[in-house]
Amino acid sequence: MDKFIIQGGKPLHGSVMIGGSKNAALALMPATLLASGKYQFENMPDLRDISTMGKLLQMMGVDVVREGTSLHVNTFRVNKFEAPYEQVKKMRASIYVLGPLIARYGHAKVSLPGGCAWGPRPVNLHIEGVRKLGASIDIEKGYIIAKAKRLRAAKITFDVASVGATGNVMMAAVLAKGTTLIKNAAMEPEITALAQFLMKMGARIDGIGTHLLEIEGVDALTPVDDVMIPDRIEAGTFLAAAAITGGNVKIERCKPAHLTAEIAKFKKAGCVLEVGDNWIRLKAPRSLRPVDVTTAVYPGFPTDMQAQWITMMSVARGNSTVTDAIYFDRFKHVPELIRLGADITLEKNAAVIRGMRHLAGAKVMSTDLRASASLVLAGLVAQGKTEVLRVYHLDRGYDRLEKKLHALGASIRRVSSQEF
Ligand code: EPZ
């Protein structure tokens, strides 16, 4: 298992290219099950989660071949309609195959995802949504068994604007008979990207980018190529790295319009930001001002930036509160940050932070993707050496993070480690 060794205290300078969006790719790849044929995706990030989704599709008979940042997908020979537990337990997004399989092939056997590092993440909205579209659903021995002759349109209202459930139900509804309404749909950029991809394939979707989607089912779709949108969470993470180290960094090939909530918060913290059409430059203040954050669905402040923000506020000059209104228990990084000297008290789904002048390097343990990123950020500013263990969590969602940070002036290197 690899670890990072970081010597803190180096302000970051220079520019960094942001890669393609992990969460857009994890939605578009299973969407290829909706029409047999060849697809070519560009700006496809080289991440562990993408490989995991690729392996799952290959188990169904899909050809998946990577060439650099291009991914070639061929769904001519889909012959298996199952997502086994061995695959699904590695990555919850595997459940995205449910909607396309039931819509295109009329049956699917998909393992329930089980828990994740920070607690239960139910899939009831996915199941209820596909059931409302006319599928018969049984839960047997930890699997969702879904069957349907032809799905038929329905009016569906999500009590939570779930990203995954919106994606799954939308992918099922595009081939259903009639016009489906999805109320309180997620409007994250990755869902907008999925909807636009489906439209290119011949789907008919109104209300893209809003909480109300109207999907007029069609009989068949056609394979098309697409380019991944930039990863807004990678972009936000690098802005946080510049901010926490007192640096001056330009992030390129990003989409600033996807980061409006974050940009506003960085400015309140005293950062100076210049925003171009596909770049952002952040100049950090000598010390950060404390800024409260409450996460929300898009376009609010994303839960996937919550951990990074807590790290930043740990060294701000004053007290702040970071509340996660999406996941009430996504705080596994807090005890590790406390080991680095942070002063944080958890009160239900809120972290109350007393900004410290310094953090001190130590060995810390990654527990999940964004928690790991927050520990790397802490190591960049902590005095002395920080070792971040189990960076395989990071590799799920960040492509060569240590190389990109090193190129910006960080003292960081990856070493293989026998420590668990
Ligand atoms: C997506 O997960 C992202 N993953 C997550 O990013 C992100 O944290 C999350 O959306 C929220 O923005 C991908 O896109 C692959 P949800 P998803 O369904 O779809 C509740 C990362 O770091 N809920 O929008 O699983 C759920 O418990 C990952 O890249 C139900 O109650 O998230 C949560 O409280 C981590 N029932 C809320 O909705 C359901 O059936 C939001 O979850 C589904 C969700």
Pocket test for ligand 1, best of 94, 163, 309, 331 (most atoms within 8 A of CB): 163
CA distances from 71 to 54, 83, 172, 294 (A): 10, 21, 24, 36
CA distances from 326 to 163, 258, 301, 352, 389 (A): 11, 18, 10, 17, 27
Using the structure block, give the residue that is written with the tokens 């343990």: 365
Query: Tokens at residue 389, please?
Result: 């263990």
Q: Find out whether the beta carbon of 397 lies less than 6 Å from any atom of ligand 1.
A: yes
**pTM above 0.85?**
yes
Pocket test for ligand 1, best of 53, 121, 398 (most atoms within 8 A of CB): 121
* pLDDT at 258 (0 to 100): 98
| pLDDT band at 347; cut points 50, 70, 90 | very high
Rounded Cα gap, residues 18 and 20, in angstroms: 7
Whole-number average pLDDT of the chain: 96
* pLDDT at 119 (0 to 100): 65
Helix ranges restricted to H, 245-323: 260-268, 306-314
Query: Tokens at residue 201, please?
Result: 């394939």
DSSP letters spanning 160-176: S--HHHHHHHHHHHTTS
Q: Which atom of ligand 1 is nearest to the CA of 161?
A: 24
Which of these is catalytic: 112, 116, 338, 352? 116
Q: Which atom of ligand 1 is nearest to the CA of 302?
A: 12
Q: Which atom of ligand 1 is nearest to the CA of 370?
A: 22
Q: How far is the CA of 414 from the centre of ligand 1 (A)?
A: 30
Q: Find out whether the beta carbon of 122 lies less than 6 Å from any atom of ligand 1.
A: yes
Give Cα 42 to chain centroid, integer Å.
Answer: 18
116 an active-site residue? Answer: yes
Nearest CA owner, ligand 1 atom 42: 162
Averaged pLDDT, 309-326? 98
* pLDDT at 121 (0 to 100): 74
Under 8 Å between Cβ of 41 and 70: yes
Q: How far is the CA of 383 from the centre of ligand 1 (A)?
A: 35
| 34-45 residue pLDDT tens | 999 999 999 999
Q: Find out whether the beta carbon of 345 lies less than 6 Å from any atom of ligand 1.
A: no
Q: How far is the CA of 124 from the centre of ligand 1 (A)?
A: 12
Nearest CA owner, ligand 1 atom 26: 121
Nearest CA owner, ligand 1 atom 39: 123
Residues 6+ apart with CB under 8 A from 323: 292, 293, 294, 295, 349, 350, 351
Give the start-end residues of each E strand in 141-275.
143-147, 155-157, 179-183, 204-206, 212-216, 226-227, 248-252, 272-275
Rounded Cα gap, residues 334 and 378, in angstroms: 11
Q: How far is the CA of 198 from the centre of ligand 1 (A)?
A: 21
| 280-296 residue pLDDT tens | 999 999 999 999 999 99
Q: How far is the CA of 165 from the centre of ligand 1 (A)?
A: 8
Averaged pLDDT, 2-16? 97
Delineate the domains of the chain, giving CATH numbers in brackets.
2-19+230-416 (3.65.10.10), 22-227 (3.65.10.10)
Nearest CA owner, ligand 1 atom 13: 23
Nearest CA owner, ligand 1 atom 31: 122
Nearest CA owner, ligand 1 atom 28: 304
- The three-class DSSP label of residue 137 is strand
Q: How far apart are the first and last CA of the chain?
A: 7
Higher pLDDT: 378 or 356? It is 378
Nearest CA owner, ligand 1 atom 6: 304
Give Cα 389 to chain centroid, integer Å.
Answer: 21
Query: Tokens at residue 335, please?
Result: 């005890």
Under 8 Å between Cβ of 126 and 94: no
* pLDDT at 116 (0 to 100): 65
Neighbours of 138 (CB within 10 A): 10
Under 8 Å between Cβ of 133 and 152: yes
Residues 6+ apart with CB under 8 A from 86: none
| pLDDT band at 120; cut points 50, 70, 90 | low
| pLDDT band at 378; cut points 50, 70, 90 | very high
Rounded Cα gap, residues 311 and 141, in angstroms: 41
Query: Measuring CA to CA, which residue among 44, 1, 5 is closest to residue 23?
Result: 44
Question: Peptide bond preceding 299: is omega within 30 degrees of 0, i.e. cis?
Answer: yes
**Amino acid code (one letter) for 298:** Y
Query: Tokens at residue 412, please?
Result: 């960081």
